[in-house]
Amino acid sequence: MDTRSAAPALQGNIGRFQLFAFGFGSIIGSAWCVLVGSWLASAGPGGAVIGFVAGGIVVACIGACYAELTARIPVTGGEFSFVLHVFGRPLAFYVGWFIALAWICVAIFEGLAIAWLFERLQTGISDRVLYNAFGTGVTRNQLIIGCIGAPLIALLNYTGGQMLARFHSLLTYSFIFVALAMVALMLFQGHAANLSPVLPAREPVWWQGAAGIFANCAFLLCGFQAISQVVEEKSAHLPFATLFRILVLTIAAAAGFYCLVVIGTAITVSWPTLPPQSLAFVEATRLLPGGRLLVPLVLAIAMLSLVKTWNGVFLMASRTLIALAREGFLPAWMNKWHGRSGVPAPVVLVIFVLNVAGLSLGRGAVGLLVDTITISLVLGYAICCIGLPILRRRDGMRASAVTAPPAVVAVGVAGSVIMACVAVVMPPIQAGGFPPVYLIFPVWALMGACLTMVMRGRRGLQRKG
């Protein structure tokens, strides 16, 4: 007897503008507000832009590979479903298992980031440290904010369908409008002299910083996978050729947005004077006319941006677990009690519990979370991009199929492999020794191996019965 569980296809009738919102909204979180100071400090404005352009090109090529895989394998599950179809069940399970870990870690990251930005609003609400974890204090307000947001995101994802798509689209397009208006004001009010030196030759060396930003694009531009994950929920009238263009466009738009934020910040305030760890975009906003009123607005839209990203990664985590449950890698009860859109309640509940538990780790765990996310995702990139040429040779090239040009696939394969290698070797270099993230992967793999043994044992008992 097979333990693979039949389940209704997910329902949503998602259109092209909603698909773009899922992709772009899941990519752009808070990095544009939180990290722009470190980008400028490491590469200058010119080096940062070059890093994002180069990284955007490579990730767009990876996205094109994903788009073709989505057209060829139009089922939810993203990387898991792609690898299952190309390489088979054993490798597919571990890819899906680690991709699920990555998205759950991103959900934890977003909850922690929202609480941090809320503190920067200086609302005057009293707070106190409850305990210390990973070298930093975990406060009451951090846990309260996370525990308010997590159930709302979970409920929204269980509802799914058009309500989820409309909510995500509303947040994404509202954010785009306000953020671009702020950048336009900076460009209008700024002075070109503030950009100097555009490409600093020392302290910092622009090309070294640009290389770092390029490598970090594996994390900074992730989230486009949301489009592949909702493929079952797209409108039947939306052709895969359009989905292909939207997926690549979201990556290009996100990279372009980061470039505009870098230029807008640097042209408004002399960038060498900014502390590397400052909220540089906020500091630049403070210098604009009406800056005292605009700063809270920027922090508010940054928090809204995190909400939409939190929603997007929760969606991707749930779709990955749904696909694993459908194939019998997870207990059958996880694929029951479906909502109106076909999303099973146990999957949502499991992610919610892990999300809330992860929030208790506090902000000291952010570095560990980022390393875990990056390594998991880029290994998935590499395996999927390598799988596309294999799938083409096996299944052939269909005249009506949506295909990425050969050069694009080659860049996607090479770029994803390079990013994977960089992601794996950087943690010990940065830590100056054995990094804690290296302990997470064997532990998570062992948990996955135990799970597969349990599920295999159940299948054996069912056959005997």
Q: Mind listing the pLDDT tens digit for each residue in 343-378?
A: 899 999 999 999 999 999 988 888 888 889 999 999
For residue 450, which of 60, 94, 135, 175 has the smallest C-alpha distance? 94
Mean pLDDT of 294-319: 93
Distance CA 60, CA 251 (A): 6
Q: SS3 for 407? A: helix
CA 48 – CA 57 distance, rounded (Å): 14
Cα–Cα distance for residue pair 213/255, rounded to 1 Å: 11
pTM of the model: 0.92
Task: Tell me the per-residue pLDDT of 430-447, one tens digit each, with 9 for 90 and over.
Answer: 778 889 999 999 999 999
The whole-number pLDDT of residue 429 equals: 83
**What's residue 401's pLDDT?**
72
Single out the residue of 331, 345, 336, 44 nearest to residue 202, CA to CA.
44
Provide the pLDDT for residue 464: 63
Nearest to 314 by CA among 458, 120, 131, 102: 102
3-state secondary structure 75-112: CCCCHHHHHHHHHCHHHHHHHHHHHHHHHHHHHHHHHH
pLDDT digits (tens, 9 = 90+) for 63-107: 999 999 999 999 999 999 999 999 999 999 999 999 999 999 999
Average pLDDT, the chain: 90
Rounded (5°) CA angle 451-374-404: 100
Lowest mean pLDDT among 284-288, 371-375, 426-430, 460-464: 460-464
Q: Under 8 Å CB-to-CB from 400, ≥6 apart: which residues?
A: none
Domain segments of the chain: what residues? 16-422
- 8 Å CB contact between 301 and 179: yes
Sign of CA dihedral 360, 363, 365, 369: positive
Tell me which CATH homologous superfamily contains domain 16-422: Amino acid/polyamine transporter I (1.20.1740.10)
Question: What separation, in Å, do the N-terminal and C-terminal C-alpha atoms of the chain show?
Answer: 9
Distance CA 291, CA 283 (A): 9
Higher pLDDT, 160 or 300: 300
pLDDT for residue 30: 86
- pLDDT at residue 31 greater than cutoff 70: yes
Q: What is the mean pLDDT of residues 262-282?
A: 88
pLDDT of residue 400: 56
Angle at 42 between CA 38 and CA 45, to 5 degrees: 85
Q: Quick check: 136 and 346 in contact, CB under 8 A? A: no
Residues in a beta bridge with 338: 344
Q: How many CA atoms lie within 13 A of 451 on its CB side?
A: 17
Q: Is the pLDDT of residue 2 over 50?
A: no
275 Rama class: left (phi>0) / alpha (psi -120 to 50) / beta: beta
- Asked if residue 216 has pLDDT above 80, the reply is yes
Rounded average pLDDT over 24-35: 91
